[in-house]
Every structure is written in structure tokens, then in C-alpha cells.
Chain A
């Protein structure tokens, strides 16, 4: 883009794409903002009226909101912790020379390809079912009482399912990072007398700081909006035990048919996502700078 002419040409050629993207994003956003200021219920769609910020007040003061917010944060935090704490050793293992390494890698990545609804159904009916599930069977084998996962520890059960889905992603990113680590550096550390553990702490972990940041940022974006797993397994319950923000908005919109309130909720969710993103970037984002 050195000359004036290429700059003008470049902008002209980019304009249609940028305009389309802009409209694509701005129209739904504008409509959501518009609906969020209306009293608009699908059960009574003839009588809509402008209510200002009443929907926001209602959504934010709803006792379910704080519970949902807490559930969302617990879910995101736990899944992040599990995927990184398990993903790092898994990646280290997969980086070793073993027979059939490519097949093992494929198997490890497989859960990522399973649709959330399908994997949630499999976990619900085949693994965690208190009567016919695999876990229940193992529990009875050793003489313990089977856990009724979705009643006794519902949020933990959902966390397990989501973590299982995202573990491959973390492993894969960390594995590629490990493979790009300089061999000679490891050898230099070996000559310097570093044990495997010190070599990991002083060389590998700092090297992984950046990919771990990437994993945290990307996973957070998706984990804030976990829905299918909750919908399929617990339906947000028992009570509000597994209701997160996304599920709460769904309930407002399609269970209570309150479009105005759901729109307000959606905007609140956008703000929450931005707050989380802001703190994340402040905390871990400096790892992305070179």
C-alpha cells in the first residue's frame, strides 16, 4: 500500500465487504436494542408499548439473574481449569514418541467433532444415568451407591460434559506449541543439568504461556454461551442449579414468550461478555505481545 492510488483502490475494493459485514452485524443489534425497550410478549403481541429501561430493571433485579451469573462464571472457570490442567500433561504425553501416535492423536481429538447435543445425550443416558449408566454400574461393582449426577451434583455434571468436549481443543493447541519448541534449547538445558521437571518449569511452561492464553480467550468466548448441554441434560434445573445467562435468556424468550425482556437479557449478556473479555485481556493478554 505504498502509493496513493493503491490506497484508494484498496479502500474501494474493500467497501462492499465491509458494508455487508456492517449491516449484517448492525441490523440485529439495532433490533435487539429496539425490542429491549418494548413491552412485547408473544402471548399478547397486539398490545406492545414503549417501556424504556423497565425490561433491564426487571431482568437485573430478577433473583434468577444473580444465580445464573454465578453459574456462568463457575462453569467457565471450572472448564478452563480442567481443560488446561489436564490438557498440558496430555499434550506432553502425545508429544512423546510412541507407537501408533497418529491414531492416538486422532482418538484424543475425536470428542471435539461430536455435536454438543449428541455428546450431552450420550453422557446423560449412557454414562451418568443413575440406573443404567456406566458410572452407576462401576459404582455398584465396587459396592458404592450410584450417584444421581443430574440431581445430586447437577452443575458439576454439566461442567464434566463441557470439559470433556473442550479438552481436545486445549490439548491440540498445546501440542502444536510443544512441537514448535526449540530442540537445541532443551538440549542446552540438559547440558546445564536441568532435570525433566526443571526443564518443564523453566523452559516449557514459559513457552506455553502464549498458547495457554489463546486457549483461555477462545474457550471463554464459547463457554459463556454454553446452551445445548444444559438444555439436553438438566433443562436448567433442578431449580436454577444449572441455569446460566444463555439459558435464562432462552427461558425468557421462548418459555415465557417475553421478547422485550429476553432482548434486554441478551444485551446484558453482551455487556457481561465484554467485562469478562476486558479482565481476561488485562490479566493474560500481555502474553500475546511479542
Chain B
């Protein structure tokens, strides 16, 4: 079991409020990603759940039990740190076994569990090496091994892939997701990379300046962002925002349309503009269009278009994929 509930959780460091009233319900076995720009409080929120920081107010329930006053080790969670935090003078075996040893498990049980964890993570040949003799990806796996061997109620990941190179990151992303599904253990994963968030999560928590902006599945956030911040944060390239007045919708403060929902239309259809840069990727063409009073627009068009800087184009938005926001940035649903 690993159901985690946050009720009115607050955290301040002196006069600075890092987390303002966080309410969240994380279901058992789900993969939840905390995503947001740097300084939004996502790591702090994770550390509050881990017990490495004390809450200023509110409750954290794990399987219905308030754990605010429970020390980290007793919460039944395990954490993978950004720097991996491996114990440098211990072998891989020693690193993975440390938690079990501290729990006072008998030696044969420890050995069996460590070997099993190592086998799952393809670490068996490296069990007797020291962390410094391993590559980045291998160290990462040891850190994960240390987390899974304790069979926790939930895994906490603090930007675990940010120190890996791009190719390895994609590979580890898959491995972590696969592992989590296989173990069916609740996982909370902190990242600032929205691609990681979109690809790995069952549910995403978008954080901004200590507030939870939206909590939902990746596609929910993509298709129905609750506000301007989420709309702008999720999706790459970023959503285009134009003022409602400029497109003749006076009751709408901001109109948002994703680059992939702008099509190149016939002349006189949609919004006119001049191509300032065209990026030809083969599969897609990214157009950066100067649309006069609408500002700069980005369009992502499937396929190859023979357009270059200075060409005049007409962009027509998909009318069913428009996002309308009021002057406070909240979405208007009709």
C-alpha cells in the first residue's frame, strides 16, 4: 500500500513561504510527477513527504496515518537523490544492503534481496565495485537499487536523471517507468523537464511559486489546462498566446493556441503573417511567424513546406482546440 494524502501542507523558511497550502491525493501504485520551474517548491514538497524537512502546517497522510511527526526512516519511503548520494567507500553491494542492515535483517535475507535487486537492474557484475568505478548510468541504477530493495510504500525521486546525458536519460526514463509498473509501487518524481513529466507520469502536479496549479493526467493538462501558467508550461514548443481583442473576441482576455493546432491556410483564411525563421526537421516544419499586432506566433506543421524567411503565410487555428482565458488567467470553459 502506498496512498499519500497532503492536507493543507504549508512550509516556510523564516518569512518566505515555499509551499502555500498544498492539497493532494496520490493513489496507491500511481506514478505522480511534480513539475514546475526552478524555485517553485517541488523539491521542498518532496522533502516534506520524505520527512527531511518539517512541515510548518497541515498533515501528510500515508495510508491514512498522519506522519508529520514520524522520522523519515519510519515512514516506509525510499528516496533517489539527484546526486545519487551513494556511500563512496562501500561497494555496490554495501550500498544496496545498507538500509536492510540498518533494519537488522539477517544476513542471508539481505544477500538474497540484494542479489534480486541487482539482477532486476543488471548490476550483478558490478556488485563488488565501488561507486567511483561506475559510469553515471550505473550509479543511477545503484541509487535505484538502494531504493527498491527496501520494498517501500512509495519511491521518491528527486530529479534523478538530470545528471545524465540526453541519450541515457531517455533510456533510464523508460527503465524507471517500466520498473515502477512492474513493482506497482507508488512513485513521486520531481523534475523540471516537462518531457519527462509527460512521458512518465500517470498524473502530473504542476507547481508554480509554491502553489499547485493543476493536478491531472498528462493529456488532461495538455488538452484542458486550468490556467495560463499550465497552458504555457506544458507543451513544446510553447503555446501561442494572443490577446482576445486582437482576434475579435472582446470577452476573452487571452486566447491560446498550440503550435501544432495552427495550420497553413489559403490566402485570406486565418491570421496573416511573415515567416521570420523556418526550421525544417523533415518530419515537421517549425515556423516562427511575425503576425503583426498578434505578435510572434509559432506553428508546427506536419511534413515539409517549402517556406523561407520573408514568405507571407496565413495561419488558421483549429477552432476546436482554442483555449480561452479570462483576465485572471483562469480558463473559460463553454
Contacts and interface: CB of A to CB of B under 8 A. Distances in A.
A198 interface: yes
Interface in A161-205: 182, 184-185, 187-195, 198, 202-203
Given A191-B72, A191-B77, A193-B102, A184 B85 contact: yes
Interface residues of B, number: 24
A202 B103 contact: no
A206 B79 contact: no
B85 A193 contact: no
Contacts of B50: 191
B222 interface: no
B93 to A, nearest CB: 14
B82 A193 contact: no
A153 to B, nearest CB: 40
Nearest to B81: A184
B98 A184 contact: no
B73 A188 contact: no
Interface residues of A, number: 18
A191 B79 contact: yes
Interface string B81-94: 11101111110000
B52 A187 contact: yes
Contacts of B74: 193
Interface string B69-81: 0011110011101
A203 B83 CA distance: 16
A188 B71 CA distance: 13
Interface centre among A190, A191, A194, A207 (most CB of B within 10 A): A191
A192 B81 contact: no
A184 B89 contact: no
B89 A185 contact: no
B258 to A, nearest CB: 38
Contacts of A187: 52, 72, 79, 81, 85
A182 B131 CA distance: 14
Given A185-B87, A187-B52, A206-B89, A193 B99 contact: yes
B146 interface: yes
Nearest to B97: A192
B73 A191 contact: yes
B141 to A, nearest CB: 15
Contacts of B87: 185, 188-189, 202-203
A54 to B, nearest CB: 53
Interface of A is mostly: helix
Given A185-B87, A198-B102, A203-B87, A191 B78 contact: yes
A197 to B, nearest CB: 11
Interface string A236-259: 000000000000000000000000
Interface string A3-36: 0000000000000000000000000000000000
Given A189-B98, A192-B146, A182 B73 contact: no
B24 to A, nearest CB: 21
Contacts of B52: 187, 190-191
A190 B98 CA distance: 11
Contacts of A209: 89
Nearest to B71: A190
B99 to A, nearest CB: 4
A58 to B, nearest CB: 50
Contact of A190 (B72, B83, B86, B150): B72
Contacts of A198: 102
Contacts of A185: 85-88
Nearest to A195: B102
Nearest to A198: B102
A199 B168 CA distance: 32
B102 A188 contact: no
A185 B72 CA distance: 14
Contact of A202 (B72, B73, B83, B98): B98
A166 B90 CA distance: 32
Contacts of A206: 88-89
A228 B147 CA distance: 57
B140 to A, nearest CB: 14
B81 A193 contact: no
Contact of B99 (A192, A203, A207): A192
B77 A192 contact: no
B32 to A, nearest CB: 19
Contacts of A188: 79, 81, 85-87, 146
Interface in A219-233: none
Nearest to B47: A187
Given A192-B102, A193-B103, A184 B72 contact: no
A198 B73 CA distance: 13
Nearest to B149: A192
Top 6 closest pairs, chain A to chain B, by CB: A193-B73, A192-B99, A184-B85, A188-B85, A206-B89, A193-B102
Given A188-B81, A191-B77, A191-B79, 4 more contacts: A185-B87, A187-B85, A192-B102, A192-B150
